[in-house]
């Protein structure tokens, strides 16, 4: 007979429903051991690495987890703050600001929590916290604007896996992408225009998205198409003519979706472009990939290739317009929950 965890308590408060803002996750510290634990969990996800399980086990444990943690720990150390990982800091602020915003407009409280697919606070812990408080309706917003099975799909998988072991299953609603939503494009536009107002406009706007193996998109993942749609909509909204979009963070020997960010930056610098503005629209909060890979590594690459000015435009983070955008998403997705 299967054993299910009793995870539900009668309502002890008047909370109307819960919202989970889900993101990828971060190590607990920038130490090699902490990064190794994080990478083990992340790279063991079959949605992230689509290789035969036994083959990948030997590659992961015999090569990657031996070599990569020390290098990644050094990268994390370059961006770590006193309060912790930038991604964790911004995730906490996003949840707190969204809860405050929603509860200013509604008499019945709405609980907002952040959850990480890998690391802490886990999806399991946050779901149990909510149902343990008697919350029986939960809206999940993965903070990945463009859908990929390796991010949004994996988040949905984990929610299903957790609830499959619980006696009580709450009513769940999901958002699976917002790549072309007007609120999102306008939020990005406002961020870029504010940067231009303070710093001036560079010769070229570069939009860099996280990469994905080409074979994943060839198999039907819509990620590449949605990134292209976001980039074209933002460029059109801004009215820019000189812009590029590209893909970063490739890993391993296989071909990933192109153009690659490093190649684009080299070409721009070598062809005489002296200044660029760089934004990462696919990241909802600044993290290792934006603060270390882009703002440190790609800055050095562009300047070494002949460029003179590299302006990094921060992610949406906990900016007021980002919180307003998320509030609008909650209202539209929650619908009748706000009336009952």
Q: Is the pLDDT of residue 209 over 60?
A: yes
| SS3 at position 4 | coil
Q: What is the mean pLDDT of residues 90-106?
A: 93
Over range 126-143, report the average pLDDT.
Answer: 96
Q: Which pLDDT belongs to residue 308?
A: 98
Mean pLDDT computed over 67-78: 97
Q: From CA 197, how far away is CA 50, in angstroms rounded?
A: 44
13 vs 212: CA distance, rounded Å: 43
Q: Which residues contact 239 (CB under 8 A, 6 or more apart)?
A: none
Is the link from the previous residue into 121 a cis peptide, with omega within 30 of 0? yes
pLDDT at residue 93 tops 90: yes
pLDDT at position 14:
67
Q: Which residue in this structure is represented by tokens 């603060």?
A: 291
- Say whether pLDDT at 10 is over 70: no
pLDDT digits (tens, 9 = 90+) for 211-224: 999 999 999 999 99
Ordered by start, the domain boundaries in the chain are: 18-178+321-339, 182-313
User: Do 239 and 164 form a contact (C-beta atoms < 8 A)?
Assistant: no
pLDDT class for 105, splitting at 50, 70, 90? confident
Which pLDDT belongs to residue 3?
A: 66
Q: Report the pLDDT averaged over residues 45-55.
A: 94
Question: In the predicted model, is pLDDT for residue 296 greater than 70?
Answer: yes
**Mean pLDDT confidence for 1-7:** 67
What the block records as the tokens of 31 is 């130490």
Q: From 284, 279, 259, 319, select the one nearest 151 (Cα to Cα).
A: 284
The position carrying tokens 């980039």 is 231
What DSSP designation does 13 have?
A: S
Average pLDDT over residues 51-73: 96
What pairing do the DSSP bridges indicate for beta strands 204-210 and 275-279? parallel
Q: Tell me if domain 18-178+321-339 and domain 182-313 are identical in fold.
A: yes
Q: What is the pLDDT of residue 16?
A: 80
- Collapsing DSSP states into helix, strand and coil, what is residue 246? strand
Mean pLDDT of all residues in 310-322:
99
The whole-number average pLDDT for the span 81-110 is 93
Query: Rounded mean pLDDT of 145-169?
Result: 97
| Alpha-carbon gap, residue 122 to 145, rounded angstroms | 21
| pLDDT (tens digit per residue) in 164-202 | 999 999 999 999 999 999 999 999 999 999 999 999 999
pLDDT score at 339: 78
**Per-residue pLDDT, 157:** 98
Q: For residue 6, what pLDDT is reported? A: 74
Q: What mean pLDDT is predicted for residues 68-85? A: 97
DSSP secondary structure code for residue 250 in this structure: -
The fold for domain 18-178+321-339 equals Rossmann fold (3.40.50)
173's enclosing H/E stretch is: strand 171-174
Q: What is the mean pLDDT of the chain?
A: 95
- Specify the pTM: 0.95
CATH code for residues 182-313: 3.40.50.1400
Q: Answer for the pair 196, 164: CB distance below 8 angstroms, yes or no.
A: no
- Which residue has better confidence, 7 or 273? 273
């Amino acid at each position: 007979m299967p054993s299910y965890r009793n995870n539900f308590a009668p309502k002890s408060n008047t909370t109307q429903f819960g919202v989970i803002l889900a993101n990828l996750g971060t190590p607990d510290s920038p130490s090699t051991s902490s990064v190794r634990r994080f990478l083990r969990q992340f790279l063991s996800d079959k949605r992230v690495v689509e290789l035969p399980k036994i083959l990948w086990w030997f590659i992961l444990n015999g090569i990657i987890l031996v070599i990569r943690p020390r290098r990644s720990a050094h990268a994390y150390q370059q961006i770590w703050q006193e309060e912790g990982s930038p991604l964790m800091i911004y995730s906490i602020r996003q949840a707190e600001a969204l809860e405050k915003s929603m509860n200013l407009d509604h008499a019945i409280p709405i609980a907002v929590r952040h959850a990480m697919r890998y690391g802490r606070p886990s999806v399991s812990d946050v779901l149990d916290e909510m149902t343990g408080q008697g919350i029986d309706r939960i809206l999940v917003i993965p903070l990945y604007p463009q859908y990929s099975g390796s991010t949004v799909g994996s988040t949905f998988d984990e929610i299903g896996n957790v609830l499959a072991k619980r006696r009580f299953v709450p009513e769940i609603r999901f958002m699976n992408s917002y790549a072309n939503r007007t609120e999102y494009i306008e939020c990005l536009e406002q961020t870029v225009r504010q940067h231009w107002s303070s710093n001036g406009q560079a010769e070229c706007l570069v939009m860099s998205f996280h990469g994905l193996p080409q074979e994943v998109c060839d198999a039907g993942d819509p990620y590449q198409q949605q990134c292209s749609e976001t980039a074209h909509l933002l460029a059109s909204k801004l009215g820019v003519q000189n812009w590029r979009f590209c893909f970063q963070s490739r890993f391993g020997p296989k071909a990933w979706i192109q153009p690659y960010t490093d190649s684009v930056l080299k070409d721009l610098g070598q062809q005489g472009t002296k200044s660029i503005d760089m934004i990462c629209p696919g990241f909802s909060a600044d993290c290792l990939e934006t603060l270390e890979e882009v703002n440190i590594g790609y800055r050095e690459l562009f300047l070494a290739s002949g460029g003179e000015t590299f302006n990094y435009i921060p992610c949406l983070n906990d900016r007021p317009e980002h919180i307003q955008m998320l509030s609008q998403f909650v209202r539209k997705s929650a619908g009748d929950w706000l009336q009952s």
